[in-house]
Amino acid sequence: MKKKIVVMALVVFLLGMTALAVKNSGGYDGAGNMGTVAVIEINGFLGETGSGSLLQSSFTSAEKIMEAIRTARERKDIKAVVVRINSPGGTSVAAQEVGMELDRLRKSGKPVVTSMGDICASGGYWVACSSDLIVANPASLTGSIGVIMEFNNLEGLYQKLGIRPEVIKSGAYKDIGSSARPLSPEEREILQQVVGDSYEQFLEQVEKGRQGKITRAELQKIADGRIFSGKRARELGLVDKLGNYYDALDLARKMSGLGKDSPVETLNTGGFWDSLINNVLAPSLLPRGDFVKMKY
């Protein structure tokens, strides 16, 4: 009888530990921790790989950001995501692509919290609008809702250098935005329409992301490209809460039901070499004047 009790106790202990291991492993699967908050950093100008340049002080590849978002979506141990944005904006496409990926992440049931750094403006703010909650520092710079398309007219310089570009084109507007001549009124009108259309998309994005927090009419009053402090943005409804990075982490934990000590893992810790490879491998060592780039 005594033997049976001892053996039973050992077996129960063994099975108990196994059950605990199985149960705990269900929530792990990733970084070896139960329920992780992932951090995705967006630092500097947001663009597609190759759209930045070595002369640009800070550049973030949209592809890398999207990859990190996908990882956060696929990994079972990641329960919430904080997007730390310190970006003055980026190309329209890059901002839209990252925003779409964040929307998919939220649809998968994982809360996304944006934490603003020094600046989260324009394209950066577009991305922020694809999160469940936006946290800004009172002094963060945000807003700049608008679209800009710019290029240089180097006609005068070419003349001084004795360069006379010859253009053979299939249509009247094929060399629209050429640096060799000024814009014609028709071309200006076409480009203005493109910018207007993109601006409308930006307004829709903010409207969708800030539903119930700011009306279309209120938005249109302030969406003229101006920037705001985090504090003012909070009053206007562009931001949900004032706080720092750790407040954003705590909010993410709370929203996903994680404990206070749940670990944090940064998914895209790219450094100088990443940036170098991104730009050197792509043919854009110098700032390009090849075609106009539309930016948020």
Partner 1 sequence: MLSDILFGMVFEPAATLRKIGEEKPVFLALLVYLIISLINLPLSRGILLLQNTSPSVYKPHWFWIFGGIGLFFCFLGLFFIAGLYSLLSEIIYKKGNAAGILAGFCFASFPGILGLACQYGAMLLDLERVGFLCSFLAVLWMMVLQVLALREALDIRSSQAVLLFVAPVLLLLILLALLFWVFYTGTSLIK
Q: Does the annotation count 174 as an active-site position?
A: yes
Least spacing, CB of residue 110 vs partner 1, in Å: 17
Which has the closest alpha carbon to 291: 47, 126, 93, 51? 51
Please tell me which residue in 61, 87, 92, 122 is annotated as part of the active site: 122
Least spacing, CB of residue 37 vs partner 1, in Å: 16
Interface with partner 1 in residues 23-52 (CB under 8 A)? 24-25, 28-33
CA atoms within 13 Å, Cβ hemisphere of 136: 28
Q: Does the annotation count 61 as an active-site position?
A: no
d(CA 233, CA 136): 9
- Piece of 7-15, 79-87, 240-248, 286-294 that binds partner 1 (CB under 8 A): 7-15
d(CA 279, CA 167): 29
Q: Does 70 bind partner 1 (CB under 8 A)?
A: no
Q: How many CB atoms lie within 10 A of CB 290?
A: 10
Nearer of residues 68 and 95 to partner 1, judged by Cβ: 68
d(CA 43, CA 59): 7
Q: Does 88 bind partner 1 (CB under 8 A)?
A: no
> Taking a C-beta distance cutoff of 8 angstroms, is the pair 258, 37 a contact?
yes
Please tell me which residue in 174, 208, 221, 254 is annotated as part of the active site: 174
Count of helix runs (H) and strand runs (E) in the chain: 10, 12
Nearer of residues 10 and 157 to partner 1, judged by Cβ: 10
Active site (catalytic) residues? 122, 174
Binding site for partner 1 (CB under 8 A): 3-4, 6-8, 10-11, 13-15, 17-18, 20-22, 24-25, 28-33, 75
